[in-house]
Amino acid sequence: MSYTRVLVIENPVSWAEGMKVFRKQAEPALNAAKKAGLLNSYSMVQTGDHAGMLITEFDTKAKMNKYVKALSAIRRDTAAETGGQSWAYQGQVKASG
């Protein structure tokens, strides 16, 4: 069983400007979390001109909680720089069939 966390992001700046900030601030931390074994995978998906989702997957809830603590400061800094806001949804993913 794995755990998925979806961060819904909305910014007043364009998607391209938001991605510049994401690549500069968040992506290095996400790659480090992946290399450290906390994070299985992540993907950033554009859902509108000023909105998107960061989807992350973890082996265990404990790893997800460590990731959240490690990246909370980066999340706050990114939101402050872009003037945006975000909401997180998380939970278990069970295989069926």
Find out whether 49 and 14 touch, Cβ atoms under 8 Å.
yes
Q: What is the spatial order of strands in the sheet that 2-10 belongs to?
A: 41-46, 51-58, 2-10, 85-93
95 pLDDT above the threshold of 70: no
Q: What is the CA radius of gyration of the chain?
A: 13
User: For residue range 4-53, what is the model confidence (pLDDT) as tens digits?
Assistant: 999 899 989 999 998 998 899 889 999 999 999 999 999 999 999 999 99
User: For residue range 70-86, what is the model confidence (pLDDT) as tens digits?
Assistant: 888 888 888 888 888 88
Give the model's pLDDT for residue 1: 73
DSSP 62: H
Q: Whole-prediction pTM value? A: 0.84
CATH of domain 2-90: 3.30.70.100
Find out whether 19 and 27 touch, Cβ atoms under 8 Å.
no
Give the model's pLDDT for residue 89: 85
